[in-house]
């Protein structure tokens, strides 16, 4: 299947400038293509992941993806989708973010047939006079004002700095066409105006028949109409320090039946036959949630590796069964991150006093005795029924944690200091 036909089947094409021409080009030769990301933060989240999944699909078919880290454009701010000016960052913060994002890209794309560049390297060399003479003359203000990315800001106002963003992004496309053999730019639906501005610039400078193309990806909404990628706890990050691999895995495994097939098409590299089989299982055996499990496995492995999938499944099984003894300290740090948490010393203590005085898990000694006698308390997965039993906080999990379960589902993480 041609790469453009595959993207169509996956529902991943919003707009293209010349779909037939792009299809013909990709069948004739391996092309260079790019997507940019501004270093406004030090991690991508899963909403950012969508266009980069498209680049990965091109890479797997032999094409050459180029990632532009926007050290130049990121320093001034992108007006896209914002109702106010972006707060400018220090250059030190921008550099930190550039390094972090570059590392994430290498993790996703590897080091073969893949290039990372930083637009600061060429934009910073432009003088004001060069910018105005060589590029400003080629942009019509009326046309720029009609671009949706600018028009949406006119009512509340937009600075000249952010107004010029589309010129800088256009210069990026021209530079990459000349120096990296890039002929296609991919971006979100809100980037259409910026991308086509770049095509217009290339056609003015290099000739109107220059084969360069734009492809944008639809805005992704969940079945309930809300924006994809947001949870009650905020964004789902690719950085494992911000969103643990276990939390990442759980995000995908908890997806709605109405969305899971769409996400399998967008976020996995499974073929049409396998996705159709999973879609049938969603229809006939939704309670097994096989499609969700496969989605969680595939995306977690792509972002965090196979070992992260194994650990996430191990944590999931342990939490479901209550059998937590075999978890590692690292797995506990992931799986119990959002559980009620207290800190205690390493001092050994009677279980009743420990539950009431040290951890405050129990409201009173009377209640603690009753719960222990009734078998409602488990320490590190083991049921404790003896009110004279002693808790040794440093005995398990490298001496870092104690896991308390009260009743069937209430877990507490006790950190040992």
Backbone angles phi, psi at 79, to 5 degrees: -75, -10
Give the residue numbers of the binding site for L-tyrosine. Answer: 34, 165, 169
Backbone angles phi, psi at 311, to 5 degrees: -65, -40
* 64/112 Cα distance (integer angstroms): 9
Give the residue numbers of the binding site for ATP. Answer: 230
Give the residue numbers of the binding site. Answer: 34, 165, 169, 230
* 7/187 Cα distance (integer angstroms): 14
The first and second tokens of residue 14, run together, are 């919003």
55-88: b (≥16 Cβ within 10 Å) or e: bbbbbeeebbbbbbbbbbbbbbbbbbeeeebbee
The first and second tokens of residue 350, run together, are 């009677």
- DSSP symbols for 62-126: T-EEEEEE-TTGGGT---TT-SSPPPPPPHHHHHHHHHHHHHHHHHHH-SSS-EEEETHHHHTT-
14-26: b (≥16 Cβ within 10 Å) or e: eebbebeebbebb
Closest CA to 210 of 184, 186, 237: 184
User: Catalytic residue positions?
Assistant: 40, 45, 48, 82, 86, 169, 190, 227, 230-231
* 51/238 Cα distance (integer angstroms): 14
* 105/247 Cα distance (integer angstroms): 21
Q: How far is CA 388 from CA 58, 358, 373, 407, in A?
A: 65, 16, 11, 20
Please count the other Cβ atoms lying within 10 Å of the Cβ belonging to residue 27: 10
* 267/264 Cα distance (integer angstroms): 6
Question: How open is the CA angle 207-211-217, to the nearest 5 degrees?
Answer: 125
The first and second tokens of residue 413, run together, are 């993480």
């Amino acid at each position: 299947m041609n790469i453009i036909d595959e993207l169509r089947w996956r529902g991943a094409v919003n707009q293209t400038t010349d779909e037939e021409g792009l299809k013909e080009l990709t069948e004739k030769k391996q092309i260079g293509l790019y997507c940019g990301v501004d270093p406004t933060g030090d991690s991508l989240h899963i909403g950012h992941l969508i266009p980069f999944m498209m680049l990965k699909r091109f890479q797997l078919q032999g094409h050459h993806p180029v990632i532009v880290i926007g050290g130049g454009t990121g320093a001034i701010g992108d007006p896209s989708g914002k109702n106010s000016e972006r707060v400018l960052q220090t250059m030190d913060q921008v550099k930190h973010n550039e390094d972090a994002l570059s590392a994430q890209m290498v993790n996703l794309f590897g080091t073969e047939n893949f290039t990372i560049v930083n637009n600061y390297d060429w934009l910073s060399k432009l003088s004001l006079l060069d910018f105005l003479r060589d590029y400003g003359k080629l942009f019509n203000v009326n046309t720029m004002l009609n671009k949706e990315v600018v028009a949406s800001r006119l009512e509340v106002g937009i600075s000249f700095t952010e107004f010029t963003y589309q010129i800088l992004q256009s210069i990026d496309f021209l530079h990459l066409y000349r120096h990296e053999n890039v002929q296609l730019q991919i971006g979100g639906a809100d980037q259409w105006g910026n991308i086509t501005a770049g095509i217009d610039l290339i056609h003015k400078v290099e000739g109107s028949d220059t084969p360069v193309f734009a492809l944008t990806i639809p805005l992704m909404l969940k079945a309930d109409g809300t924006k994809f990628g947001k949870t009650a706890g905020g964004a789902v990050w690719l950085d494992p320090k911000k969103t643990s691999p276990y939390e990442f895995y759980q995000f995908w495994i908890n997806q709605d039946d109405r969305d899971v097939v769409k996400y399998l098409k967008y976020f996995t590299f499974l073929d049409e036959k396998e996705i159709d089989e999973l879609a049938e299982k969603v229809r006939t055996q939704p309670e097994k949630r096989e499609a969700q499990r496969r989605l969680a496995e595939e995306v977690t492995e792509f972002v965090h590796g196979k070992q992260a999938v194994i650990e996430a499944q191990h944590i999931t099984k342990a939490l479901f069964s209550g059998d937590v003894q075999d978890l590692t300290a690292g797995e506990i740090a992931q799986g119990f991150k959002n559980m009620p948490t207290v800190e205690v010393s390493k001092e050994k203590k009677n279980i009743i006093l420990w539950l009431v005085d040290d951890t405050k898990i129990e409201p009173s000694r009377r209640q603690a005795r009753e719960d222990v006698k009734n078998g409602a308390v488990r320490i590190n997965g083991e049921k404790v029924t003896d009110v004279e039993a002693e808790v040794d906080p440093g005995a398990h999990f490298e001496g870092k944690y104690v896991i308390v379960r009260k009743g069937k589902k209430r877990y507490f993480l006790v950190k040992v200091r």
